[in-house]
Amino acid sequence: MSTERTLAPAADGADLLALVELALEEAKALGASQAEAAVSVDVGLSVSVRLGEVETVEYQRDRGMGVTVYFGTRKGSASTADLSAAALRETVGKACSIARFTAEDPCAGLADPDTLAREIPDLALAHPWDLTPERACELALECEAAAMDVDARITNSEGAGVSSHRGLRAYGNSHGFLAAYPGTIHSISCAVLGSEGEAMERDYWYSTARDWRELEDAASIGRHSGERAVRRLGARKLATTKAPVLFSPEVARGLVSHFIGAIRGGSQYRRASFLLDAAGQQVFPDWFALSERPHLPKALASAPFDHEGVATQDRELVAGGVLLGYVLSTYSARKLGLRTTGNAGGTHNLIVPGRGRDFDAMLGLMGRGLLVTELMGQGVNGVTGDYSRGAAGFWVEDGRIAYPVHEVTVAGNLKDIYRAIVDVGSDVDLRGGIRTGSILVEQMTVAGD
């Protein structure tokens, strides 16, 4: 293992923009009426340790280009990991060949010129970490050791990991748009197992950030993962019942994610959503709000423009519990007779504001019910809204955690679940593109024995 290798910088932005321009020029020379190209280069260092031993040290360098061309309303796409000039020309040629054999689609084409980003704000997304493999291994070992030291009942480990990645993405199209921006993502994680008698429980914790200086301390992450595993020992099953359910922040974001899936343009124009044609309708309680904030500095889902070069902008998706609009790319917007919302490639920093109650206050508000801290399985039907997932967590009595629970299922229909949200906590989890606190649902079916 080298003692000198650190995370090397990604390619220069000007280099990638030149490659995009070359691809666009080649597409024009081959007769394409419109074209777009995106180039990305990512480099990363990841290490993992388990039971005090280094298991893996990986250095990644990924790069690639995707090209899409249009001949009228016929579309062709091709990609390559070879960024040489010859390979790019060949890739553009392949895309052009494909386009000539595809069916015409009146909704196909680049984003309208007036939707493209005119200014590219600096969102402070790139904070390179001069991290050597040796230092990464030290941090991972420190993290795991802290977890194992929490309690004698921590008897095994799934390991700890440290990773640091940086990248650069450039995009351009034949409307004259050409821009690039860098980004970094760093993380430290740990998962351990606790045992008591024949029972064994697993839990984890992690920290992730654009800026490595904002990561939680490695030892603190380890201790938290160990404490979480220990507190799950002695877990019981429940008899099937109906009860209030409080989703902790790290799992509550899943409820928001299912909602976004239902209001995506693709789900709407394919008529495959439990919230079909729901714009303008009351979907949540009248106090509930959901906003998108793409330009938060250092945020994990911030972006100055979407995957089509469309300007990202602040937006209210839900206000007063009413759905105000869908999540649209250019193509899905045209299919629905609407205008793109700058969401080609996904949403950017969704925020669910709480109403002032911290986690303990949310437990008190629930009084008696199930606190869910982990969800398992994929039992969510995006067409009907039926929701049924394996869960683990804690039973709550008199607003306080009484004992751990496992091997239960929480079920309902997402339409009913959204309308039955009682409150959203102020205990917001910032480790993702959906920022929400704990979410309390008035009643769900809790299936056990």
**pLDDT per position as a tens digit, 75-99:** 999 999 999 999 999 999 999 999 9
Work out the percent of the chain whose per-residue pLDDT is above 90: 95
Please enumerate in sequence order all residues whose Cβ is within 8 A of that of 360, keeping only pairs 6 or more positions apart, or say none: 399
Q: pLDDT tier at 64 (50, 70, 90 boundaries)?
A: very high
**pLDDT per position as a tens digit, 401-436:** 999 999 999 999 999 999 999 999 999 999 999 999
Measured CA to CA, the distance from residue 159 to residue 55 in angstroms comes to 9
Q: pLDDT tier at 151 (50, 70, 90 boundaries)?
A: very high
State the pLDDT at residue 6.
39
State the pLDDT at residue 11.
55
161 and 276 share a domain?
no
State the pLDDT at residue 449.
80
pLDDT at 8 over 50: no
| Number of domains comprising the chain | 2
287 and 358 share a domain?
yes
223 and 357 share a domain?
no
Last residue of a domain, one of 161, 196, 230: 230
222 and 284 share a domain?
no
Last residue of a domain, one of 214, 230, 246: 230
- The tokens for 311 are 């300007």
State the pLDDT at residue 12.
65
166 and 246 share a domain?
no
Q: Answer whether residue 193 is part of any domain.
A: yes
Mean of all residue pLDDT scores within the chain:
95
139 and 222 share a domain?
yes
- The residue whose two tokens read 């309690």 is 151
Q: pLDDT tier at 10 (50, 70, 90 boundaries)?
A: very low
State the pLDDT at residue 14.
87
303 and 169 share a domain?
no
Q: Answer whether residue 303 is part of any domain.
A: yes
**pLDDT per position as a tens digit, 234-286:** 999 999 999 999 999 999 999 999 999 999 999 999 999 999 999 999 999 99
Q: Answer whether residue 258 is part of any domain.
A: yes
Amino acid at 353: P
CATH number of the domain enclosing 115: 3.30.2290.10
State the pLDDT at residue 5.
36
Last residue of a domain, one of 193, 214, 230: 230
Please enumerate in sequence order all residues whose Cβ is within 8 A of that of 428, keeping only pairs 6 or more positions apart, or say none: 249, 354, 435, 436, 437
Q: Answer whether residue 290 is part of any domain.
A: yes
38 and 164 share a domain?
yes
Domain range enclosing 439? 235-449
Q: Answer whether residue 393 is part of any domain.
A: yes
State the pLDDT at residue 1.
32
Measured CA to CA, the distance from residue 307 to residue 397 in angstroms comes to 48
Q: Answer whether residue 6 is part of any domain.
A: no
State the pLDDT at residue 438.
98
pLDDT at 9 over 80: no
204 and 282 share a domain?
no
306 and 182 share a domain?
no
Question: Region 117-136: what's the mean pLDDT?
Answer: 96
State the pLDDT at residue 198.
87
pLDDT at 3 over 90: no
225 and 243 share a domain?
no
**pLDDT per position as a tens digit, 198-220:** 889 999 999 999 999 999 999 99
283 and 204 share a domain?
no
Question: Region 161-187: what's the mean pLDDT?
Answer: 97
Q: Answer whether residue 214 is part of any domain.
A: yes
Q: Answer whether residue 374 is part of any domain.
A: yes
